[in-house]
Amino acid sequence: MTARRKTKQIMVGDVAIGGDAPIAVQSMTNTDTRNVESTVAQIERLQKSGCEIIRVAVPDIDAAIAIRKIRDQIYIPLIADIHFDYRLAIASMENGAQAIRINPGNLGGKEKLAKVVAAAKQHRVPIRVGVNSGSLEKDLVKKYGHPTAEKPDAMVESALRNVALLEDLDFYETKISLKSSDSMTTVSAYRELAGKCDYPLHLGVTEAGGLIAGTVKSSVALGILLYEGIGDTFRISLTRDPVEEIRVGYELLRSLNIRQRGPELISCPTCGRCEINLFGIAEKVEQYIQDMETPLKVAVMGCVVNGPGEAREADIGVAGGKGVGILFKKGKMYKKVDEKELLSVFLKELEEMVEKKG
Amino acid sequence: MTARRKTKQIMVGDVAIGGDAPIAVQSMTNTDTRNVESTVAQIERLQKSGCEIIRVAVPDIDAAIAIRKIRDQIYIPLIADIHFDYRLAIASMENGAQAIRINPGNLGGKEKLAKVVAAAKQHRVPIRVGVNSGSLEKDLVKKYGHPTAEKPDAMVESALRNVALLEDLDFYETKISLKSSDSMTTVSAYRELAGKCDYPLHLGVTEAGGLIAGTVKSSVALGILLYEGIGDTFRISLTRDPVEEIRVGYELLRSLNIRQRGPELISCPTCGRCEINLFGIAEKVEQYIQDMETPLKVAVMGCVVNGPGEAREADIGVAGGKGVGILFKKGKMYKKVDEKELLSVFLKELEEMVEKKG
């Protein structure tokens, strides 16, 4: 794994982004932002699942005004997402948005951008320059062609151009995203940009799709980038309950050995050797550990022959025998339980271990 | 993306592995192999979903004998997975297994291994040397320590030692796997081995877990490796219906722009701007395209403002408005449909497009 890229650090509320800060996990609400109650309810569920920064769409002034009421009821920083209308960007900051996501080039000219930047300085709010492969400046697409994995130049140039607009206004509290719905274009664009500036980078694949396709596309693109030390915060984008985005996000960080949150389930796919209903047990254990925060390795293995050995790094595990299950800790068997009682006994032991670990 | 590693090519039945052959997608049954009916039924579902090679566990002689009846009813090559008992390896080949997966070092000594290799030569069957981090030779673990991302040496050395046992018997029709349940250890092990031999590599993360965790772990590890040109075939291991393993496998290859199978769904996560029930539509479109084989980009986007533009690479798409949907092709809108009829009209247009594309 490559050492993490050195970047400037910015603050989104009390969450540091870039430098040596932990890679922050974000999401975005899909409620009507003007509906404070449903938006807060969704953010509360996201906070509980580990979301560290939340973004809301601000399509009109009522949404910008709602930000104040939303912020009063949540404890993670809130980012306002604005397209085209500079007044919404200013209104969002006046109502307490701790960061804004804009495309500086599409706010209607330099004077309007200058007003937004003045407000950002006044409120000490950073800006994400959010480049999206589908909404690039026409001259860049003409010059470089539509961005591809081989030639992501139009995206990179768009980012640098938008960042320069901010720099011209003496503004440097910036992070950058470069999203494409194609994983390899996303990877190429970030890799190229990474060498051309030292701003922190917000990673993401846009319109990634449903739970499985979106999880694969995001895991591949962000996995490659983070493995190369590129990326300071990210959002997994899924056409699904945003809580799933957070869940996938932490699985991603765990798989890269970057951050741990909650127990990890090691479970075998079962094969012709398995003599127990392993899927049922694995699913119930998975549900059970979903809301736990203590890092722990939990194993559910189909057979006694290989199970405990193959899952020897597990803190606690269960392996199936013929009508029985064997409980093991760190590769050593220590209890035999009838299949009927297996789940309840195992969950009890698991809970005791979590309590001990605090 | 790095050019693909140069390897020797072997044949598993009529499927070439390594060299310039397509990266093959495998799975493993989780039925009782002795139950021919249920095993064949599962393999039929796997074949339909695009599985190109199937592996079955052979824990006893009845399972080995069942292989013949299974093979008579399926059209993809079958690999027999054997632990410890050299007689089962031989019986599997006698009954038509087109490859075997063994650990040459644990079959009970050189004489027994020689008999297995003689049978493999006779039946023209290749061997996968399947190293698993949980069942390494004790002397190697003692020498190198339990394998980690920083030091995967015990796994790599075990693979080379087992391969050498085959080479001593003049056997070279070999592929190698090096599986750990830790994604980063898996990556390190394959990277190191890749430079030390030219055998084709079978990739996989073992005991990867349930649908989401397992998909993330496998996508990250295999994504990094395939991006670096390493890997000739793979199995995504999930504690789930193996058909999901195939689905994730093709999503992985698609996200890396290596292979396309069936339509790709580009769908946005929705946000406060969305005025239509996008999740319902996206889910139904996703189900609908599940069994299609024609590569096609299909978009389901929440809003008309950015939707068609952001999904301009889509062959066909739908974007939500207020109570209506806009159909678009290649970024250009061409039809407005009432929300009630949206799904049926869109699916009909989609089907027509698939028919045209053949």
Map out the domains of chain B with their CATH numbers: 9-255 (3.20.20.20), 264-356 (3.30.413.10)
- Range 6-45 of A in CB contact (< 8 A) with B: 28-34, 39
Confidence at residue A287, expressed as pLDDT on a 0 to 100 scale: 87
Tens digits of per-residue pLDDT, A92-121?
Answer: 999 999 999 999 988 999 999 999 999 999
Confidence at residue B286, expressed as pLDDT on a 0 to 100 scale: 87
Residue whose C-alpha is closest to residue A1's, from A358, A254, A197, A258: A258
Residue whose C-alpha is closest to residue A179's, from A171, A189, A169: A189
Confidence at residue B21, expressed as pLDDT on a 0 to 100 scale: 98
From chain B, the residues in CB contact with A187 under 8 A are 227
* pLDDT band for position B259 (cuts 50, 70, 90): very high
* pLDDT band for position A354 (cuts 50, 70, 90): confident
* pLDDT band for position B202 (cuts 50, 70, 90): very high
* pLDDT band for position A251 (cuts 50, 70, 90): very high
* pLDDT band for position B231 (cuts 50, 70, 90): very high
Q: What mean pLDDT do residues A299-320 have?
A: 82
Residue with tokens 């670990």: A357
Number of H helices and E strands in chain A, helices first, is 12, 15
Provide the shortest C-alpha distance from residue A254 to chain B (in Å). 9
From chain B, the residues in CB contact with A56 under 8 A are 271-272
Contact: B257, A182; criterion CB under 8 Å? yes
Contacts of residue A354, Cβ cutoff 8 Å, sequence gap at least 6: A263, A292, A294, A296
Residue with tokens 């500036």: A197
Provide the shortest C-alpha distance from residue A164 to chain B (in Å). 24
- Choose the closest CB to B251 out of A1, A63, A216: A216
pLDDT at A324 over 90: no
Q: What mean pLDDT do residues A71-98 have?
A: 97
CA distances from B294 to A241, B248, B260, B261, B350 (A): 29, 17, 9, 7, 11
Of the candidate ranges A148-162, B47-61, B122-136, B309-323, the one whose mean pLDDT is the lowest: B309-323
Residue whose C-alpha is closest to residue A233's, from A192, A197, A203, A188: A203
Contact: A309, B135; criterion CB under 8 Å? yes
Count Cβ atoms below 10 Å from residue A243 Cβ, excluding itself: 18
Residue with tokens 């307490």: A96
Tens digits of per-residue pLDDT, B145-171?
Answer: 999 999 999 999 999 999 999 999 999
Question: To 5 degrees, how large is the angle CA B139–CA B143–CA B146?
Answer: 90
ipTM of the complex: 0.93
Give percent of chain B above pLDDT 90.
Answer: 70
CA distance B319 to B333: 9
Residue B277, chain A, CB below 8 Å: the answer is: no
Provide the shortest C-alpha distance from residue B184 to chain A (in Å). 6
Of the candidate ranges A183-187, A352-356, B95-99, B147-151, the one whose mean pLDDT is the lowest: A352-356
Confidence at residue B309, expressed as pLDDT on a 0 to 100 scale: 75
Tens digits of per-residue pLDDT, B77-98?
Answer: 999 999 999 999 999 999 999 9
Spell out where chain A has E strands. 10-12, 15-17, 24-28, 53-57, 78-81, 99-102, 127-132, 174-179, 202-203, 233-235, 263-267, 296-301, 316-320, 324-329, 332-338
Contact: A272, B212; criterion CB under 8 Å? no
> For strand B297-301 and strand B316-320, is the pairing parallel, antiparallel, or unpaired?
parallel
CA distance B271 to B125: 54
Q: If you write DSSP's letter for every residue of A60-77 in order, what string do you get?
A: SHHHHHHHHHHHHT--S-
Confidence at residue A282, expressed as pLDDT on a 0 to 100 scale: 87
Contact: A83, B306; criterion CB under 8 Å? yes
* pLDDT band for position A76 (cuts 50, 70, 90): very high
Residue with tokens 């699942």: A49
Of the candidate ranges A60-74, A198-212, A327-341, the one whose mean pLDDT is the lowest: A327-341
Residue whose C-alpha is closest to residue A270's, from B249, B330, B28: B28
CA distance A154 to A136: 7
Burial code (b: 16+ CB inside 10 Å, e: under 16) for A321-337 equals beebbbbbbebeeeeeb
